[in-house]
Chain A
């Protein structure tokens, strides 16, 4: 356990990614200036509320944006591949063997008309795995056992609907692991599970990282789960990355006022309070983003400059944060507690 030092060569690197959705009301900016990297064997969390762009990010990484989505700028580099330049047939060599995805709902990614065994064998065939049917079946059993499906050999003959919800989630994880990808993108992978199952799946994902060095991009709205499993965390708001840092310092001393507000709103066991903190107002609509800081309407520290000036993503205290408070050139005038924050002390 613990935070891994970031190696020099990232496995996945995003630079200034811009994604828009074309709608009848014009183009909506879904992602703006998204930069992040994932090192081999690293677990990186992407957190934010609904509509912050985290699922768009996951879809863009897999080349699976909906037809009205368009990457308008930036780069996505995986190893030596420029993912944005790939043709569809080249994507097939990346999706599965290199990058695999775990979705929230297993029924959307398992075919209801084929047995689990057939699906696990065909997936290997599609990627030219050597071996006869027996070998491929053997591999299928092995992978099901690894994710904790009891009696795996006999359950190859079962259809997805014959498994419980938790077992289906495991089968989907088995599918993702089948071709031994170097990177797994988990999009709300445990959000529909009971805590007991969720804890089992998290332990499984951790083991995978520890034993095989699989990197995981863990997309979730659940700060508890992200805090438990991730080495590094990226917080998103209104299509932007607003803060990034190692999990311990980000949780113990959040820099961005949004990260602070999010963490304060989570009920924590054993810390009884009369009232929970809430964030006033709502996430701005993508169709109507304010010109300056996108959090300005909800921010307790807002000054006039924040309404006009879109904050830059600046380095601060070994982390990155998109907030004028931490940018000496922004013209923001820190006062009292904010000054303490900007100077790097806990307010």
Chain B
């Protein structure tokens, strides 16, 4: 992360809750309202200029909602989001529109976000029409296709004629058409074959360097973050439980949840095969309507004790820049470092 300037994105105490709207009948029957879904629940996070921040967690952890809230696609319940120094949490429509030129999203399912009846050339320049961008500030479809390393022949195709990797590239080109500073990419490689996924990751990295982009990459795949991200934030039930430089977090995680996620990754190396001996977290992520009290991970955590069940942990500094929200991080971190050393010193093929 570039320490020099203020971060591009600064999130403080952010909460995004979803309330069920109760209809007349439910109210007439005096149904007790369900508690809200606490998708994002008190998150502090910064994204530095030019940085690639990876946000990782299981489905239901709130990572996509956090990304959408930062882009103002989903309203925040409370807290603050500052973008380039400007408070944007409550700005109104016209200002959001202005912001949107600088903040873009690469959506998870490109085929769902590209209208099937429109040609690629139209889809690529659609953001210009929506935002009334004067023509001298527009890229041509050919330029946009070249930017994502696609042949200009694709301009006349319809989305169904594209491969998964090509559709993903069109999605990226569309996001970049507005020359944004900040891009949120939601599972940029999900559903792609190995080689197409590798090509997308290379492209995102190149474009980031060339255009000076700042990325928030949302994924459940830790291996792609190792390649792509400068820093990693780990999310569990609406909260950030660990954050730090990628190589530090992945090599010596301090939070048991991060450890469990890493443990569960199936490495493409049968020599590191541990399917029978992995330390697996039991069960599944609890409902974000009724998150467990105190430490939210205590119901699945092998280290949980009375303190975990009664006192809420906050992010503490493990080493400068590496934070973890766990009462037992000292013990866990020591174990993880020791494990990492063993893996690193074991003979590679």
Contact = CB atoms under 8 A, between A and B. Distances in A.
Interface of A: 1, 49-50, 150, 164-167, 194-200, 202-203, 206-207, 210, 221-225, 227-229, 247-248, 251-252, 261-263, 265-270, 272-273, 275-279, 282
B194 A262 contact: yes
Contacts of A225: 266
A207 to B, nearest CB: 8
Contacts, number: 141
A261 to B, nearest CB: 7
Dominant secondary structure of chain A at its interface with chain B: helix
Contact of A268 (B59, B223, B247, B251): B223
B276 interface: yes
A229 B163 CA distance: 30
Nearest to A52: B193
Nearest to B223: A267
B186 to A, nearest CB: 15
A56 B160 CA distance: 22
Contact of A200 (B205, B270, B271, B280): B280
Interface stretch (B4-12, B30-38, B82-90, B195-203): B195-203
A270 B280 contact: no
A249 B344 CA distance: 21
A223 B268 contact: yes
Interface string B318-349: 00000000000000000000000001100001
29 contacts: A1-B273, A1-B275, A1-B276, A166-B284, A167-B284, A194-B58, A195-B264, A196-B281, A197-B58, A199-B264, A199-B278, A203-B276, A206-B275, A221-B194, A223-B194, A224-B223, A224-B265, A227-B269, A227-B270, A228-B267, A228-B275, A252-B270, A265-B194, A269-B265, A270-B251, A270-B343, A270-B344, A276-B199, A276-B201
Nearest to A262: B194
A196 B266 contact: no
Given A228-B273, A265-B194, A276-B202, A194 B59 contact: yes
B198 A203 contact: no
A15 B224 CA distance: 39
Interface string B49-61: 0000000001100
Contact of B280 (A199, A222, A229): A199
B280 A203 contact: yes
Nearest to A205: B275
Contact of B268 (A50, A207, A266, A273): A266
Given A167-B284, A194-B58, A267-B223, A278 B268 contact: no
A277 B251 contact: no
B301 interface: no
Given A198-B264, A203-B275, A251 B269 contact: yes
Nearest to B265: A195
Contacts of A223: 194, 268
A210 B283 CA distance: 22
